[in-house]
């Protein structure tokens, strides 16, 4: 499964206004407000916050991947946001977060969920890719960057 199969342009927020971790997660989750793949958006938000309590998903280098598995979605969904002002995410490297990819999967789709998390982590470890995302100004531009990077990833693997 590819990132661009679960990420839609309408779930990309190029200029998030959130000022803390919870509001950033909420801003991304609620980008799915009228999405037919969502059974209960409030339960999805709760599931992501519960997962975050276990251990921060701020993986370092200004990036976080809040995620959860819940049956309140009909399939794996993704959203991406770029914060106007970096926030404390209790990241592993203690650095503030500017780029956030939200991933929510179904309980029974553990394998694809883990593969997507791994792929996102690998892509976000690339400094040039992170810089390109940080400099992008529109949802379409951000989506295209993910699409281009994923094509490179698949050509080289």
The verdict on domain 3-155 having CATH code 3.40.930.10 is yes
Residue 92 has a pLDDT of: 85
DSSP for 75-144, written as a single string: S-EEEEEEEEEEE----TT-PPEEEEEEEEE-TT-HHHHHHHHHHHHHHHT-HHHHHHHHH--SHHHHHH
Q: Where are the domains of the chain?
A: 3-155
Q: Strand, coil or helix: what is 62? A: coil
Instruction: Kindly list the catalytic residues.
Output: 67
Give the model confidence (pLDDT) of 140-153 as tens digits.
999 999 999 988 87
Residue 103 has a pLDDT of: 94
Instruction: Kindly give, in sequence order, each residue whose CB lies less than 8 Å from that of residue 36, ignoring residues fewer than 6 positions away.
Output: 74
Give the model confidence (pLDDT) of 53-106 as tens digits.
998 888 889 999 999 999 999 999 999 999 999 999 999 899 999 999 999 999
């Amino acid at each position: 499964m590819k990132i661009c199969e679960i990420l839609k342009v309408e779930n990309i927020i190029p200029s998030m206004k959130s000022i803390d971790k919870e509001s950033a997660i909420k801003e991304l989750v609620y980008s799915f407000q009228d999405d037919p793949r969502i059974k209960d958006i409030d339960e999805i938000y709760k599931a992501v916050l519960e997962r975050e309590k276990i251990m921060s998903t701020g993986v370092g280098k200004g990036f976080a991947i809040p995620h959860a598995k819940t049956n309140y979605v009909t399939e794996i969904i993704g959203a991406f946001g770029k914060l106007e002002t970096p926030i404390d995410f209790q990241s592993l490297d203690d650095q503030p977060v500017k780029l956030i990819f939200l991933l929510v999967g179904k309980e029974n789709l553990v394998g694809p969920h883990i593969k997507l998390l791994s792929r996102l982590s690998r892509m976000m470890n690339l400094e040039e890719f992170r810089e390109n995302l940080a400099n992008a100004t529109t949802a379409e531009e951000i989506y295209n960057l993910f699409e281009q990077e994923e094509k490179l990833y698949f050509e080289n693997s």
